[in-house]
Amino acid sequence: MSANYEVRGDVAVITLNNPPVNGLGYDTRKAFAAGIERARDDAAIRAIVITGAGKAFSGGADIREFGSPKAVAEPNLLSEAASSCRWGRITASPRQAPTSPCPK
For 1-37, write each residue's pLDDT tens digit.
Answer: 699 999 999 999 999 999 999 999 999 999 999 999 9
Among the listed residues 48, 53, 66, the one whose alpha carbon sits nearest the alpha carbon of residue 10: 48
**Distance (Å, whole) CA 93 – CA 85:** 11
C-alpha angle 93-99-101 in degrees, rounded to nearest 5: 65
What pLDDT digit, counting tens, does each position of 51-81 carry? 999 998 999 999 999 999 999 999 887 777 6
